[in-house]
Amino acid sequence: MNYKQIQKAIQAKKSFLCVGLDSDVNKLPASLPKNATGMLAFNKAIIEATLPFAIAYKINTAFYEALGAEGWEVMEKTLEFLPKDVFKIADAKRGDIGNTSKLYAKAFFETLAFDALTIAPYMGEDSVKPFLEYENKWVILLALTSNTGSQDFEMLKLSNERYLYEEVLLKSQEWANHEKMMYVVGATQSEKFQEIRKLAPHHFLLVPGVGTQGGNLEQVIEYGKNEAGGLLINVSRDILFASQANDFAEKANQRAEFWQKQMREKLTSVFQKN
Ligand SMILES: O=C(O)c1cc(=O)[nH]c(=O)n1[C@@H]1O[C@H](COP(=O)(O)O)[C@@H](O)[C@H]1O
């Protein structure tokens, strides 16, 4: 999906919601086996329950890789199950020397049909470039993450008075524009969104940290939205494990609707201005 198509999807569903398929096998509802078969059935039920409200799905590969080859197969089958018109993100936080990145890119963009991949920026330009060579595929670069450890490096002040994450935002715009690159900014960092929007006004931001991590949805939308919508707001555990009983899909549906309703109200004003 390209920039315009994502914008249209947001407009059509009146939603920024990205459902995170962090399908921890140990947390599956009692009615499902705690193995790869149970995980796939769980994912299918969650996707069906949340699809009216979600424009994107993010597969965090850790939860699949932990199961070995079977987990990888669940990831492939989940990807096949997702409809064409939703944005599919692999959250694998890759990035390595050029020839290695090239094969990571092949793995996620060719062998698997993801639209986007999360990438760590710290090995620099040649580690990111191979991912940018694919048409209609996206790099989602870590900028300011939601965790407390974001203080350790991302929030370091450089000699030019910028924070390291600000340098990431600026430098990486020399490699690709807002039609190929997005940035991860945690919802727990909502006080930084205004500043970030000054540095990257047109980019989409992938925003995790709403729900279980306690990020402020209202502020994220207020300060993070742009003329294209500009936000993919991820919610994982709050939706996936809203119930671990037989009604898990129904409860996931209700949580997805809960989040989308709040987004819908704010979105009306975004697109009225256009
Ligand atoms: O890259 C990410 O998606 C990510 C970046 C970040 O700064 N914080 C963060 O929580 N994430 C991911 O977003 C998801 C958040 O999950 P919940 O807290 O359960 O909604 C997990 O898959 C995390 O790995």
User: pLDDT tens, 175-184?
Assistant: 999 999 999 9
CB 145 within 8 A of CB 186: yes
> For tokens 């914008």, what's the residue?
7
Topology given in CATH for the domain delimited by 3-272? TIM Barrel (3.20.20)
Share of the chain above pLDDT 70, in %: 99
Q: Which of 23, 24, 60, 153 to mutate to test the pocket of ligand 1 (most atoms within 8 A of CB)?
A: 60
Model confidence at 272, pLDDT cuts 50, 70, 90, reads low
**What's CA 224's distance to the chain center, in Å?**
15
Give residue 229's pLDDT.
96
Taking the centre of ligand 1 as the mean of its atom positions, its distance from the CA of residue 170, in whole angstroms, is 23
Tokens for 78, please give them: 């989940």
Give residue 270's pLDDT.
78
Please state, as a whole number, how many other Cβ atoms lie within 10 Å of the Cβ of residue 156. 12
Decide if the complex's ipTM is over 0.85.
Answer: yes
Model confidence at 223, pLDDT cuts 50, 70, 90, reads very high
CA count, 13 A, side-chain hemisphere, 6: 32
The pTM assigned to this predicted structure is: 0.97
* 9 contacts: CB under 8 Å, gap ≥ 6: 1, 55, 85, 86, 87
Whether 165 has a pLDDT exceeding 70, the answer reads yes
CB 246 within 8 A of CB 29: yes
Q: Active-site positions?
A: 93
Decide whether any atom of ligand 1 lies within 6 Å of the 71 Cβ. Answer: no
Give the mean model confidence (pLDDT) for residues 157-175.
98
Decide whether any atom of ligand 1 lies within 6 Å of the 184 Cβ. Answer: yes
